[in-house]
A and B are shown apart, each in its own frame.
Chain A
Amino acid sequence: MKMKKWLILLCMSMQIMAAEELTVVAVGEAELEREEMYFNLNIVGGLSTKNAQLGREIFDLLVRDFSFYRSLFSINKSEGILINKKSGYLVNLKITPSKKGVTFIDVGIECNDNQKNKLVFSEKQDVSEGNLRTLGHSVADSIFQIIVGKKSIFDSFIVFVSDIETRDRNFPIKELYRMDFDGFGKKRLTFHRGTVISPEISKDNRYVLYSLLKNEVTKDRRVNLYMLDLLTNKTSLISSRKGINSGAVFMPDGKHIALTLSHTDNAEIYALNLESGNLRKITNHFAIDVDPSISKDGTQMAFLSSRPGEAHIYTLDPRSVEKDVTRVSFVGKFNATPRFSPDGKKIAFASWLDERFDIFRIDANRKNLVRLTKDFGSNEDPTWSSDSQFIAFSSQRVITTSKAVHNIYIMTEEGNIIGPITNNFGMSISPRWSN
């Protein structure tokens, strides 16, 4: 009888403890919710035509800045009418005469959270032609940070190389220039009368590294490495070893740079201490290794290598020599200019396909290879915005058999082309976005 009890108890407990079966199904990643942005311009009477135009310029700048983030915002603009909406944000600009002088206008900027009916930003500025762009981008960035919770690209800049000075000369002049991220405010930075290649901006945005091929006939035509201080406009020679001294990038500590040197007859990537001048090998292989790009935390370096017989992208740990070498790309006839996104998650690069270069993107863990550009000329030299949301690149478009234009474009990191930011500025190439 006891045995029976035991068995019955066992059966009962089995029944009680029977597992409930649930099925989980993945819905997947969410789409981004677009925020409605309403911009309203209110120009008060008594302003000169020129000053009213100044008011419109700062209004257009704000609208244009937010338009870059088309995946985040839906833009609506009006003049003179305050829109009463229950969702999104209303940015209202009130332009009045300034007490500071006739060349100034008083700009009152307010941003209202329509849903909460709460004023989230309010500022008054005396704006003139001289400070319009800086102030406008700064205000746009402040409002963006309130809404999105992180920094925008609005006060970033891009350095690039242009041959605009070559006109009417029989030798090439490619110099370094700077412009705001939206293509306005272009300014020449170097005056070498030579060919500037592969610029790179320091993490604090103060210095620019670049290589220079001088227009001089010498025994060994060296490509030397220079550094420009954007604060003092002073240039210093960093490396002038035999052969190539190029493709330099700043390492996260700011004291070292990684660069390609060929003084030992084989192109290798080295770490150079800017203070002591000490060199340390990062790559050590009989194949050609060039074009380093370092992740923000400094634990990974993407580079181009001929190890598999063709140019392919590899990564390694740049803190040592040939440490954790990993091949990233396996396809593509010729891959070039690998660039780590600032968040370290993705690598953008150019690859030769269908008789031209196009921009591709791959995750740092070698997954998700995607094409970003197509049917849009030959596209090279990608550079990421500091928030990893945009990629600037140079694009060559053939007009006739003897004429081609080379401009810098911006697209979203998904390949949505926003537009060119250079036009009629010679051959504009090698863009590098500030941090």
Chain B
Amino acid sequence: MVIENKNLLSFLYLSAILHLLLFIGMVLFSRLDFSSGSNILGIKQPIKISQIQSSVRIDVVAMPKETLMELKAIEKNLKKGEALFKQEPVEVKKAEKVQDVINKDDLVFDKEKKDNNLMSLLKDMSKKDIEVKKGKKEIESKEKIKEAGGVGHNFDGELRNLVLRGNQLSQGTGLTGGGDNSGDLTTLNLYASGLPDHIRPYWKLPTYLKDKDYKCRIRIYLRPSGSLIKAHVFESSGNDEYDQKALSAVKKAEPFANVPNDIQSRVSQGDIILGFPL
């Protein structure tokens, strides 16, 4: 096709140049935010990183009834698979973001007389943040969990852990993707959020490293069976011993649960990064 209209042609040229400039600008800008990636044709490829972190608000409604030791013991038992709650798949409808500063008005003072029973206390607390969607969405949710089934991850279990941490006013760990309250629970996110439970028993530090506030990230590559192809330090803490402890925890924790079919390719290419601690 030959474009004969000179005005239109020059307009298209101008438009193409503008788009190109805009694109280059975006690439340059994006480099400020994204971590380093591989080099292709001499151009550094940006990596888009999304952190799985929930935004759960848990209000302090009264002085905590359970002690820290009791809560930790319950949490430990839950990890062992004790069923304190009815195993129903649930979907987080909407999670509110934790405010760093607590205003007086944010707090709800619970005057209702409640059963002191631990089970009812935990159930009551769990109701505050979780809304179960009925009907079609529940089926969808079940399917999502089924897809990631056998991955050693229990979404309900994660929620229970969060409930047990209900006496603290802080952000919880991984539930839905994006950290922007809008992310769906994708299969990859669902699978990835189950991995910390496997690793935590092996994630131990001597006191002289634990006090130092180091942070490192390990990139993992998994086979469909959940066994480790390789793992390497993606972001170093600056302390070799700390990095090696994190790497060692990952190696000791493998094999992980089977990788669902639709994410096997991504997981084997190292799309999951583990943050120690974040």
- A pairs with B: yes
Q: Is the CB of A23 within 8 A of B192?
A: yes
Bound form: Cα–Cα A414–B271 in Å: 37
- For the complex formed, measure the closest distance between the CB of B131 and the CB atoms of chain A, giving whole angstroms: 24
Q: A360 near B: Cβ within 8 Å?
A: yes
Q: A27 near B: Cβ within 8 Å?
A: yes
- For the complex formed, measure the closest distance between the CB of B97 and the CB atoms of chain A, giving whole angstroms: 15
- Point out the residues of chain A lying under 8 angstroms from B128, CB to CB: none
Bound form: Cα–Cα A358–B261 in Å: 52
Q: B206 near A: Cβ within 8 Å?
A: yes
Which of A5-13, A134-142, A239-247 lines the interface with chain B? A5-13
Bound form: Cα–Cα A367–B98 in Å: 11
Q: B265 near A: Cβ within 8 Å?
A: no
- Point out the residues of chain B lying under 8 angstroms from A6, CB to CB: 13, 16, 20
Tell me which residues from 399 to 426 in chain A have a Cβ below 8 Å from any Cβ of chain B. 414-416
- Point out the residues of chain B lying under 8 angstroms from A373, CB to CB: 67
Q: Is the CB of A25 within 8 A of B102?
A: no
- For the complex formed, measure the closest distance between the CB of B153 and the CB atoms of chain A, giving whole angstroms: 11
Q: A217 near B: Cβ within 8 Å?
A: no
Among A3, A7, A22, A416, which residue has its beta carbon within 8 angstroms of that of B3? A3
Q: Is the CB of B167 within 8 A of A369?
A: yes
Among A13, A26, A33, A330, which residue has its beta carbon within 8 angstroms of that of B205? A33
- Point out the residues of chain A lying under 8 angstroms from B45, CB to CB: 16-20
Q: Is the CB of B170 within 8 A of A368?
A: yes
- Given the known interface contacts A7-B16, A20-B45, A368-B169, the answer about A27 and B196 at a Cβ–Cβ threshold of 8 Å is yes
Among B27, B47, B167, B217, which residue has its beta carbon within 8 angstroms of that of A370? B167
- Point out the residues of chain A lying under 8 angstroms from B199, CB to CB: 27
- For the complex formed, measure the closest distance between the CB of A152 and the CB atoms of chain B, giving whole angstroms: 11
Size category of the B interface is 35 or more
- Where chain B touches its partner, the secondary structure class is mixed
Among A26, A31, A360, which residue has its beta carbon within 8 angstroms of that of B52? A26
Q: A327 near B: Cβ within 8 Å?
A: yes
Q: Is the CB of B207 within 8 A of A24?
A: no
- Given the known interface contacts A367-B169, A367-B170, the answer about A23 and B13 at a Cβ–Cβ threshold of 8 Å is no
Chain A, 132-168, contact with B by CB distance < 8 Å: what is the 0/1 string?
0000000000000000111000000000000000000
Q: B193 near A: Cβ within 8 Å?
A: yes
Bound form: Cα–Cα A331–B129 in Å: 20
- For the complex formed, measure the closest distance between the CB of B233 and the CB atoms of chain A, giving whole angstroms: 14
- For the complex formed, measure the closest distance between the CB of B169 and the CB atoms of chain A, giving whole angstroms: 5
- Given the known interface contacts A6-B16, A22-B50, A369-B167, the answer about A28 and B64 at a Cβ–Cβ threshold of 8 Å is no
Q: A30 near B: Cβ within 8 Å?
A: yes
- Given the known interface contacts A17-B45, A32-B207, A374-B67, the answer about A27 and B274 at a Cβ–Cβ threshold of 8 Å is yes
- Point out the residues of chain A lying under 8 angstroms from B195, CB to CB: 25, 27
Bound form: Cα–Cα A148–B207 in Å: 6
- For the complex formed, measure the closest distance between the CB of A68 and the CB atoms of chain B, giving whole angstroms: 14
Among A25, A35, A330, which residue has its beta carbon within 8 angstroms of that of B192? A25
Among B52, B109, B200, B206, which residue has its beta carbon within 8 angstroms of that of A35? B206
Q: Is the CB of A3 within 8 A of B9?
A: yes
Q: B51 near A: Cβ within 8 Å?
A: yes
- Point out the residues of chain B lying under 8 angstroms from A416, CB to CB: 69
Q: B275 near A: Cβ within 8 Å?
A: yes
Bound form: Cα–Cα A370–B205 in Å: 24
Bound form: Cα–Cα A149–B13 in Å: 67
- Nearest residue (CB) in B for A71 is B207
- For the complex formed, measure the closest distance between the CB of A15 and the CB atoms of chain B, giving whole angstroms: 10
- Given the known interface contacts A3-B3, A32-B205, the answer about A26 and B67 at a Cβ–Cβ threshold of 8 Å is no
Bound form: Cα–Cα A360–B66 in Å: 11
Bound form: Cα–Cα A416–B203 in Å: 22
Among A20, A27, A351, A353, which residue has its beta carbon within 8 angstroms of that of B200? A27
- For the complex formed, measure the closest distance between the CB of A349 and the CB atoms of chain B, giving whole angstroms: 11
Tell me which residues from 41 to 79 in chain A have a Cβ below 8 Å from any Cβ of chain B. 72
Q: Is the CB of B277 within 8 A of A23?
A: no
Q: B273 near A: Cβ within 8 Å?
A: yes
Q: Is the CB of A22 within 8 A of B49?
A: yes
- For the complex formed, measure the closest distance between the CB of A127 and the CB atoms of chain B, giving whole angstroms: 29
Bound form: Cα–Cα A296–B46 in Å: 45
Chain B, 207-218, contact with A by CB distance < 8 Å: what is the 0/1 string?
110110000010
Bound form: Cα–Cα A332–B104 in Å: 14
Chain B, 33-56, contact with A by CB distance < 8 Å: what is the 0/1 string?
011011011010111111111000
Bound form: Cα–Cα A20–B40 in Å: 12
Q: Is the CB of B104 within 8 A of A371?
A: no
- For the complex formed, measure the closest distance between the CB of B144 and the CB atoms of chain A, giving whole angstroms: 16
- Given the known interface contacts A16-B43, A19-B48, A21-B271, the answer about A10 and B19 at a Cβ–Cβ threshold of 8 Å is yes
Q: Is the CB of B276 within 8 A of A368?
A: no
- Point out the residues of chain B lying under 8 angstroms from A414, CB to CB: 68-69, 72
Q: A372 near B: Cβ within 8 Å?
A: yes
Among A17, A24, A332, which residue has its beta carbon within 8 angstroms of that of B50? A24
Q: A29 near B: Cβ within 8 Å?
A: yes
Q: B173 near A: Cβ within 8 Å?
A: yes
Q: Is the CB of A415 within 8 A of B20?
A: no
Q: B230 near A: Cβ within 8 Å?
A: no
Of A21, A27, A372, most buried by chain B (CB within 10 Å of CB) is: A27
- Nearest residue (CB) in A for B186 is A23
- For the complex formed, measure the closest distance between the CB of A336 and the CB atoms of chain B, giving whole angstroms: 13
- Point out the residues of chain A lying under 8 angstroms from B229, CB to CB: none
Q: Is the CB of A23 within 8 A of B273?
A: yes
What are 27 A-B contacts with C-beta separation under 8 Å?
Answer: A2-B13, A3-B13, A3-B16, A6-B16, A10-B16, A16-B43, A19-B34, A20-B38, A22-B47, A22-B50, A23-B52, A25-B52, A25-B193, A27-B196, A27-B275, A28-B196, A32-B206, A150-B211, A367-B168, A368-B167, A369-B64, A370-B167, A371-B64, A374-B67, A414-B69, A415-B67, A415-B69
Interface contacts beyond A148-B207, A331-B63, A366-B102: sample of 18 additional A-B pairs, CB < 8 Å, sorted by A: A17-B46, A19-B45, A20-B47, A20-B48, A22-B50, A23-B188, A25-B52, A25-B193, A25-B272, A26-B174, A31-B200, A33-B206, A150-B207, A330-B107, A371-B66, A371-B68, A371-B167, A416-B69
Binding site for B on A (CB under 8 A): 2-3, 6-7, 10, 13-14, 16-33, 35, 72, 148-150, 327, 330-332, 351, 353, 360-361, 366-374, 414-416
8 closest Cβ pairs, A-B complex: A19-B48, A33-B204, A30-B205, A149-B208, A370-B68, A368-B168, A371-B64, A25-B192
